[in-house]
Amino acid sequence: MTLEMDPEVALAMAPIAAAAAAQTPPPVGDWETRRAAVDELIGTFTASWVPPADVTVTEHRATAADGSGIGMRLYRRDGDQPGSLAVYIHGGGMFLCSIDTHDPVCRVYTHLSGVPLLSVDFRFAPEHPYPSSVEDCYTALLWAAEHAAELGVDPDRIAVMGDSAGGGMAAGVALMARDRGAPALAAQILVYPMLDDRTTSPDPEIEPFAMWSTDDNITGWGCLLGDAAGGPDVPVYAAPSRETDLSGLPPAFIDVGQLDIFRNEDVDYAARLARAGVGVELQLYPGVPHAFEVFAPDAAVSRRAMAARTRALQAF
């Protein structure tokens, strides 16, 4: 059976598909062209989301192990004191997007769930290759735990959350917290996470629909890991799918679209978490590509996905 895109999502994405068909994709490794194009595309779509009026944003800073300052934004729904908090890591293939492109997304998650989000302005590749980005995010997690009392947060109710590359880094931070003995995490919420640097062979059924292509993926991992990408010595904190022991990790929520090149690695990671005794919920959405809810927020499948993520945020 041939795969097909969800009709509502296909309609919303038709202008993007038409524009892409009229252009020649940049070659593998051309991160500059990709960064400019995708930042503009994602920023345009998320900027069209109506910002909730009941979310307050405050700026904070943490200091990384190498002395670098890490910016963070705390999103809190007015009047709420839920006692929980999610450290949010934005997506972008390891080398693009920003805390600004995902600002509307964080506002909406906070509005829908009532759970505060601490978004991390981490350094990304290729200007700052591994381990800068994931270490920055771990620094933000430590800051959240250390400042839990003044934030009104129960230190036992802190989670990590991220989308795409940010989902991969959230999984990496969960591994770090386990291996380093702190802080304890209540959950990991992984939205179509980028987990495996070995995803380098195009699936002919998925590639025609891919909003994040195999060439994009090879470029992203190359930015992060250089020549080590795809080789035998890739660290598990960079590519969590490389970890063979997934025991002792916090409960996981994972979602991914059927037309996403991350589908197989995400489903495999969920299955291996379950076999390791970790509580896991997997949502596999039919007929949708990577970042479907960004481009088609009003589609029924996007509303279902946002509702499920909201429930995951409220569950811990």
Residues carrying an active site annotation: 164, 260, 290
Whether 138 contacts 177, CB under 8 Å: yes
Strands (E), 104-211: 117-121, 158-163, 187-191
User: Which tokens belong to 292?
Assistant: 């479907």
- State how far Cα 153 lies from the chain centre: 23
User: Which tokens belong to 257?
Assistant: 């679209």
Judged by phi (left if over 0) then psi (alpha if -120 to 50, else beta), residue 124 lies in beta
- CA–CA–CA angle 75, 79, 85 (5° rounding): 40
Cis peptide preceding 202, ω within 30 of 0: no
Show Cβ contacts of residue 180 under 8 Å, excluding neighbours closer than 6 positions: none
Cβ-based burial of 185 (10 A; exposed 0-12, middle 13-18, buried ≥19)? buried
CA–CA distance, 231 with 211 (Å, rounded to integer): 26
- CA–CA–CA angle 139, 278, 110 (5° rounding): 50
Show Cβ contacts of residue 17 under 8 Å, excluding neighbours closer than 6 positions: none
How far is the CA of 136 from the CAs of 120, 141, 205, 223, 282, in angstroms? 8, 9, 36, 17, 27
User: Which tokens belong to 108?
Assistant: 């909406």
